[in-house]
Amino acid sequence: MSGGRAAALLLVGVLIGGISGGAAATYLTHRADESPGQPAVNVGLPIATTAPPTSGGFDDEIVGVVQELLPSVVTIINYATNGQPQSSGSGFVVDAANGYLVTNNHVVEDTRTSGTGASFDVVFSNDKKTSAKLVGRDPFTDIAVLQVQAQGLKAATLANSDNVPVGALTVAIGSPLGEFQNTVTHGIVSAKGRRVAETSQVVLEDLIQTDAPINPGNSGGPLLWAATRQVIGVNTLGVTQATGINFAVSSNTVKQVADEIIANGKVVRGYLGIQYTPLTTRQAAQLGLATGTVGIVVSQVVPGSPAEQAGIQANDIITKVNDQVIDADHPLSSLLVKNRPGDKVKLTLIRSGKEMTVDVSLGQPPQ
């Protein structure tokens, strides 16, 4: 399993929807009524020779979106430095003219380190295979961008995910287990605005919840709104101990992050300039703080940083960012994930037992 992350709280069993290990298992099937050396019996049952009439509605909606967008979906093979496949996932074309594809960050990661795979291949729905280069990735939103030669590509359109209603019909396309390419599943939008912790410092925000099955290898593939034939999310993870609880990074988040990666090769977030540790229950009690006080303790302020310019000091206890409490479910990095250099944030802090607020204009991170 690439990524190998477990979600916090009730989502301890969250399963990242990529698949690692290179070669997937091969599944063999046989007909139970056949035996070796015996010819098959033709019982003369009639079979239709003409296509059935179109029924309209549900079936046509699913068939239509699959026929239109299947050529946009790809299988991504991630190779280790020794040239062996180490994991695989899915992705889709977002810019046909320039050959840009979107997938998950954990699809392109090295399965043994926090770095990236050595090289990548992309396989299209027509089995055409080509090499791809990594443009950039963002672990904090689990989004990555690859680029292939722009020749005869078909792009999928990103929807405004704010517009998709709960209950809308969804279709997911990907390559589960790295073997069953071009697999289609369907469901509905179960909820919006979900947040799930991937690690203690990475909390994925603004997720779309769906009951469309998302299996290992589906990671990075599109979640489609059948009615509009547009992408509303990037399939990312599912809950192993529950049926029908799966998540996709919203297309609005995907657009923002992918645009930045394409422009800059990375996402540049606003820089605060502090080192800190979580406030423990014992520390809070020793400092005489109210029961239940949570936050972080500033251990060092970087000279010349935005934090120093705003007057933040060592031993300050920062409890909130823009009125959102900092705790295990809302780490500082998650609360600042959408902020860019130049953005102003309000910090609530406790100094010498007194609460105050400080406005900080975030800066450029040091090179």
Which stretches does DSSP call E strand in 148-273? 169-174, 183-197, 203-210, 222-225, 230-239, 246-250
Structure tokens belonging to residue 128? 């055409």
Structure tokens belonging to residue 32? 């139970």
- Identify which of 181, 140, 155, 189 has the alpha carbon closest to the alpha carbon of residue 19: 181
**10 Å Cβ neighbour count for 315?**
11
- The active-site residue out of 90, 219, 250, 305 is 219
Q: What is the CA radius of gyration of the chain?
A: 24
**10 Å Cβ neighbour count for 127?**
9
Instruction: Judge whether 159 and 178 are in contact, CB under 8 Å.
Output: no
Which stretches does DSSP call E strand in the chain? 14-16, 19-20, 73-79, 85-95, 100-103, 119-124, 129-138, 143-147, 169-174, 183-197, 203-210, 222-225, 230-239, 246-250, 274-278, 296-301, 317-321, 324-325, 344-351, 354-361
**10 Å Cβ neighbour count for 279?**
21
> Active site includes 162?
no
> Active site includes 330?
no
**10 Å Cβ neighbour count for 212?**
24
- The active-site residue out of 2, 88, 142, 161 is 142
> Active site includes 110?
no
- The active-site residue out of 2, 90, 106, 186 is 106
Q: Catalytic site residues?
A: 106, 142, 219
